[in-house]
Structure 1
Amino acid sequence: MKKKLLRLGMTLLLITSFSTACGSLGVKDEAKTNTNTADPVASNGNEPVKLRIMWWGSQARHDATLKMLDLYTKQHPNVTFEPEYSGFDGYIDKLSTQAASNNAPDIIQMDAAWLADWNARSQLSDLSEGINTADIDPKLLETGEYNGTLTAVPLGGNAWGMIYDKSALEKIGVAPPKDGWTWEEYFSMGEEIKPLLGKDQYPFKDGTADSTLYANYQLSKGKGWPITEDGKFNYDKATWLEYANKFADLRKKGIVPPPDVQLADIDLDPTQDMLIKGQLIFKGLHAAQVSAFESLKPNSIGVAAIPKAEQPGGWLKATFYFSVNQNSKYKEEAKRFIDWFINDPEATALDGTTRGIPISNKIVAEMKPKFNQGDQLTVEMIDKTAESSQAFNPGAPGWADFGKEEGDIKQQLMFGKITPEQAYDELAKAAKKYEK
C-alpha cells in the first residue's frame, strides 16, 4: 500500500508533457523548504532594473519565454529584460566565456552536468530564501543543492528510461517488456528478436560506447556510479569486463548494429534516427523526449524502466534549472522573477510544456485536463522509474572533459582496435588527470 501511495504521489507531481523539450524519497525539513516569497516592498519598487537572462531550447521555448518576460514587465513596470537565447550547441561555451570575463547574465538556465563545476568555483548565488519551493518535490529540489545550499531551482521533472517500438513488437509477435525486467531478459529478448527482423533491423544499439547505459548496468549491480560524486574513478573492473564482453559477443553475432551504422544514428532526426526509421526496437531515453518520438511515430511508442539486477538501473532528475549569477547586482529581483516563473498560473500557462513538466505540483494539477498521448507516455516512463530508482549523480567538479576521452576510448573498443581489458586500463589512466 505504501508503494502504491508513493507512485500515486509521484504521478500527481510529474504528469504532464515533454512535447517539445529535451534517490530515495524523503521529507525535507521545514527549514530547507522555503515558503516565503521575496520582500513585497522590493517587488513594488520604482528603481529601474534590467535583468539579463540566458537560456537554450527550441523556437517554441524561445517564443514562450519572450511572452513571459513581456508579461512580467507589464506586472512589474520597473523591470525589463535583456534576453540571450540559442540552441543547445555552443551554449555552455558562450556562457563559460562570459563568466570568465565576469560578464555572465543575471539569470542562467543550467544543466545538471554543469552544476558541480559552477558551484565549486562559487559562481552561483544562494537561492535558499526568496523563492517559494513548497510545491516542488523534495527529491527533485535536492538535485539543485550544493553542500546543502540551494543554488539551482529545478524547472521540470525527468527520468532516464527506455522507449520501444511497440508496433514492431506486435508485428513479430513478441510481448513487450514486463515491469521489473532484468538485464538477462533484455539481452535474451535481443537474441530472440533479431532472427525475426530484416537484415538492417536490430533489437537495440551496441552499448559498448554508451557511458550512460554502462552507468545503468554498474549501478544495478550495486557497484555505484562509474565516476563518484566526489570525483573518484569507480569503474568496477569485473562489471566492466562482463558488460563489454557481452556486447562484443552481440556485435559478433550481428544482433547489434555495426559501429559505422550506429554512429550515424541521431535522436529525433526523421532521416537518421534508427528507431523512427524502423531499424531499431529499443532505445535509452529521457522522459523529456518521449512526446517528440510519439509525434514522429504516432501510436507506436511504448515506455519502460531501465533493466535491473540486484538494484534498479534508472534514475529521476530535473530537466534543467534556473540559477542566479553570484556577481549579479540584482540578486533579489532575479530570485523574485524565478519565484514568479515557477508559481504564477498565468506565467506557467504561457510556458506550457516547453520546459517539460512544470515543477510545481499545484500547477501540474491545473494542467492535468490538457494531457495528450505523448503526455501520458511521459507520465508512464517517469512513474515506472519512480517505482524503484537510483539517486541521481550530477557529476563531480573538474570532470567535465573526461566524457570525451571516455567516449574516444570506448569507440576504439567498439571498432575492435583495443580489447576490453585495454579499454579499462586506458579509462583508468585517463581518469588520473581528473582525480583530486
Structure 2
Amino acid sequence: MFTSLRTKLTLSMLVTSLAAISVMALITPWLLEIRFEEEARQVHFSRFVRLIENFREDNGQWGGQENALLLHKRILDSSSRLARSPEASPSHPGDLKPERHPLDSETFRYVLADPQGFVFMPFGDYQAGQQLTDRQLERSEPLYNGDQLLGYALGANEFPMTEQDKSYLMIQSRSMLLGAAAGLIVTLLLSLTMGRQLIKHLQSLTRAAIEMSKGNLNQQVSVEGKDEIALLAREFNRMALELNNTYAELKASNETIKAQAEAMQELSLRDELTGLHNRRYFNQQFRLMHHQAVRYGENLALALGDIDNFKQINDRFSHQIGDTVLKQVAKLMAEEIRDADILARYGGEEFVILLGHTDKHQAEGLVDRIRAKVAAWPWQHIHKDLSVTISFGISDKLDTDLGHSMLVEADNRLYEAKDQGRNRVCI
C-alpha cells in the first residue's frame, strides 16, 4: 500500500514536470524560429534598401522600367565579377570566403520591385522589367527609408534560410532538450527524496488510526515540522486526546452520557439562529398530528409564513440585520402561539405553525394577530429605514396522503397572499 502511494506520488511529480517541459520544448522552438525569421527578414530588407539607395546615389534617379532593368544589369555584373575574382575561393582550407553579393545567393526567395512595381530582381517565373499587378503589390511588403517608399519585396512561401541559420536553430533546440532531460532527472531525485519522508509520516498516522479503530484511543504521533503533514499530525493528536478524555468522562458516569445524548438530540431538532424547532422536528410532529387528526376526525390547521421582501432586506441592510430580523420575528411568533402548537423555522425566511384542534378560521385569527404584531413592531430600533411585514397561507385540508395536500394548499395560499400585495393572510 505504502509503496503504491510512493509510486503514485513520484509519477504525479514526473508527469507534471514532463508536461510542463514538453510544452516548453514544443512552443519555445516555434517562437524562436518565428523571432529568428523576423530578425532575418529585417536584415534582408535593410540590405534591399541600401542597394536601392546606392543605385539612386549613383544614377541620380529611381523608379520606372528603365531604371529597374539598369539596376538588374548592375546586380548581374556585380555577381559575375565576384564569381571571376580570385578572392572568391579561399587559398587555404582554413580561410573564409569573401562575402558575396547580398542578392547573389541560392537561398534568395524574393522578387524586388520599384515603387511602380517594375521588377529589378526576379525570382521563379518573374522577369526583370515586368510590372507587378495590384494584387501582387498588396501581398508584397513595402521597403521604406524613413517615410519614403523605395520599392516592394514579394517573398516566396519558403523563407530564405542559410545552412548557418539552420545549424543555429538546431543547436538551440538541442540545448533545450538537454535542459529538459536535466530537469526530469532533478525532478525524479527530488520526488524520491521528498516522497520517502512523506510516506514515513503517513505510515505513522495510519498505524495510529488503525489502533484507534480497535479501541486503543490513547494514540499520539510524533511528526515535526510546519508543513501540512505536521499540521495533520498535531490535529490528530489533539483530537485523539480530546476523544480519549471524552470517552473517560462518559464511561465514568452513565447519567452524563444520557444528558449529553439528550442535549445532542435537542440540538439536532433546533434551528441554530432563531432557537425555534427546525424542519426535521416539524416533519416528525406533523406526521403524528396529521395521522391522529385523520384517524379521530379532529381539526388540524397548518400556516406557512414568509417574511416579505426578505432578500431586499439582506441586500440593502446586510445579512447581519437580516439575521436579526429573523430572530425578532421568531420571538414575536413564539409569544402568540399556544403551548400545544408547533412553531418551526421551515427554511430561509419561511416559518410554519401547526395548530391542533383548530380549524382554518380559528387559525386565521391567531395568525393575523402575529402578522399585525410583526408589522407594528418598531423595526427602526434596528435600522432607521427598516420595516418588516409577513404573509401567511393557511390550510386545514385533511387527506390520507400523509399531509402532502395540506402543505401544498398552504403554500398556494401563501403565494396568493404575496400576489395580493403581501402583509396579509389567505385561507
TM-score (norm: length of structure 2):
0.18
The one of the two structures with greater contact order (alpha-carbon pairs below 8 A, sep at least 6) is 1
TM-score (norm: length of structure 1):
0.17
Q: In proportion to residue count, which structure has more helix?
A: 2
